């Protein structure tokens, strides 16, 4: 008798709103001088929304949007001495659109049963067999017998040892309860991912304004339009239901960070100032996963199969009726 049951894997669609903060560091390099960070590490609140589609094997694409505030407004009056005399401030918030691919691990339950952690050398198995029992009136009735065997070949308890009568429904219920207890309680899943973020509406260049007759130049450093993002999510749940998640991401700016040049001709002298920036950082957030599709549970079913028993470690025989000659 073979008992089969469990969860059926299906494609899953989920939505995860999150809130947290972003830590970024923007570096500026003026001409051929050593780069520096005007604001050092900048912490900014961050909100995000992500949608994941996972196939049956636990991997699939994702798309999402999130806020970003990595830009630094670098203002100066004297291009030749801008590295020593400048004003720096945080730029405006941007909205980034992200997409990529991820996969998720199987649930890791925290409450491992003692049966799994104990190092038992012998394992007990239960084998069911249909037997014919003769009633007092002379008729026969079919019953299900369960044989308990422990150990390997040569141990004291053989398959033909102690016989226990147990209905099939009882065995099915016991196995299901044992599996339910094993896969219950708090668990954790890890979901690594990698992708690209795109920020629309970014313009490059150096802006020039005149204040009280003085020319002022502003360069927005770290204002990328594309970035590489990678990280992992740690999803916590209970009894096969996801409750909350912790998201940790790393990003590296790629596009719109090329060298910008400022050429000023004054008094017959031409001054060229070249500015270049780079930005990277990480973000941390918490959220609640919302399952848009539900997992189906496969009902328990019992299938019969003929068993081969090993007798005295040498020959195998099939249970059945034998006639006397």
- Kindly state whether residues 13 and 47 are assigned to the same domain: yes
What is the count of structural domains for the chain?
A: 2
pLDDT at residue number 14: 93
How far is Cα 203 from Cα 223, in angstroms, rounded to an integer? Answer: 9
pLDDT at residue number 167: 55
Determine, yes or no, domain membership for 325.
no
Determine, yes or no, domain membership for 65.
yes
Determine, yes or no, domain membership for 121.
yes
Determine, yes or no, domain membership for 312.
yes
- Kindly state whether residues 19 and 83 are assigned to the same domain: yes
pLDDT at residue number 210: 86
For residue 51, give both structure tokens.
């949608």
- Kindly state whether residues 241 and 287 are assigned to the same domain: yes
- Kindly state whether residues 237 and 279 are assigned to the same domain: yes
- Kindly state whether residues 273 and 238 are assigned to the same domain: yes
Residue 70: phi and psi, rounded to 5, are: -100, -15
pLDDT at residue number 133: 52
Determine, yes or no, domain membership for 53.
yes
pLDDT at residue number 136: 54
- Kindly state whether residues 223 and 118 are assigned to the same domain: no
pLDDT at residue number 266: 77
- Kindly state whether residues 85 and 201 are assigned to the same domain: yes
How far is Cα 89 from Cα 115, in angstroms, rounded to an integer? Answer: 60
Let me know if 19 is exposed, middle or buried by CB neighbors in 10 A (0-12, 13-18, 19+): exposed
Determine, yes or no, domain membership for 322.
no
Gyration radius (Cα) of the chain, Å: 34
- Kindly state whether residues 228 and 279 are assigned to the same domain: yes
Which positions of the chain have pLDDT values less than 70?
1-10, 112-183, 204, 294-325
- Kindly state whether residues 82 and 228 are assigned to the same domain: yes
Burial letters 267-292, b for 16+ CB under 10 A, else e: eeeeeebebbbbbbbebebebebeee
pLDDT at residue number 293: 82
- Kindly state whether residues 240 and 310 are assigned to the same domain: no
Determine, yes or no, domain membership for 69.
yes
- Kindly state whether residues 234 and 190 are assigned to the same domain: yes
CB-facing half-sphere around the CA of 195: CA atoms within 13 A: 23
Give which of 258, 246, 216, 234 is closest to 104, Cα–Cα: 234
Do 72 and 44 meet the contact criterion of CB atoms below 8 Å apart?
A: no
How far is Cα 323 from Cα 227, in angstroms, rounded to an integer? Answer: 80
- Kindly state whether residues 41 and 126 are assigned to the same domain: no
Do 37 and 52 meet the contact criterion of CB atoms below 8 Å apart?
A: no
pLDDT at residue number 211: 81
Q: What is the residue range of 120's domain?
A: 114-183+299-317
Give strand pairing partners of 216. 209
pLDDT at residue number 171: 54
Residue 315: phi and psi, rounded to 5, are: -115, 160
How far is Cα 246 from Cα 236, in angstroms, rounded to an integer? Answer: 8
Determine, yes or no, domain membership for 323.
no
């Amino acid at each position: 008798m073979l008992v089969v049951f469990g969860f059926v894997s299906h494609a899953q669609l989920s939505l995860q709103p999150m809130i947290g903060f972003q830590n970024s560091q923007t570096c500026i390099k003026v001409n051929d001088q050593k780069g520096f960070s005007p604001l050092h590490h900048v912490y900014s609140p961050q909100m995000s929304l992500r949608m994941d589609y996972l196939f049956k094997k636990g991997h699939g694409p994702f798309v999402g949007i999130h806020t970003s505030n990595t830009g630094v407004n670098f203002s100066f009056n004297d291009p030749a001495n801008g590295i020593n005399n400048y004003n720096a401030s945080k730029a405006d918030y941007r909205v980034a659109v992200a997409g990529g691919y991820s996969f998720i691990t199987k649930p890791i339950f925290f409450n491992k049963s003692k049966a799994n952690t104990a190092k038992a050398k012998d394992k007990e198995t239960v084998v069911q067999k249909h037997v014919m029992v003769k009633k007092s009136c002379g008729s026969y009735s079919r019953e299900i017998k369960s044989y308990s065997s422990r150990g390997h070949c040569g141990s004291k308890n053989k398959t033909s040892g102690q016989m226990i009568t147990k209905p099939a429904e009882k065995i099915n219920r016991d196995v299901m309860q044992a599996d339910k207890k094993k896969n219950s309680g708090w668990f954790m899943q890890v979901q690594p991912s990698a992708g690209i973020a795109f920020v629309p509406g970014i313009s490059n260049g150096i802006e020039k304004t005149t204040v009280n007759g003085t020319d002022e130049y502003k360069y927005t450093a770290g204002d990328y339009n594309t970035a590489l993002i990678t990280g992992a999510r740690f999803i916590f749940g209970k009894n096969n239901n996801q409750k909350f998640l912790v998201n940790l991401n790393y990003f590296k700016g790629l596009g719109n960070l090329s060298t910008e040049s400022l050429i000023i001709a004054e008094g017959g002298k031409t001054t060229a100032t070249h500015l270049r920036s780079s930005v990277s950082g990480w973000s941390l957030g918490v959220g609640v996963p919302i399952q848009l599709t539900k997992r189906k549970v496969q009902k328990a079913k019992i299938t019969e199969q003929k068993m081969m028993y090993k007798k005295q470690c040498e020959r195998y025989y099939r249970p059945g009726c034998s006639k006397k000659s």
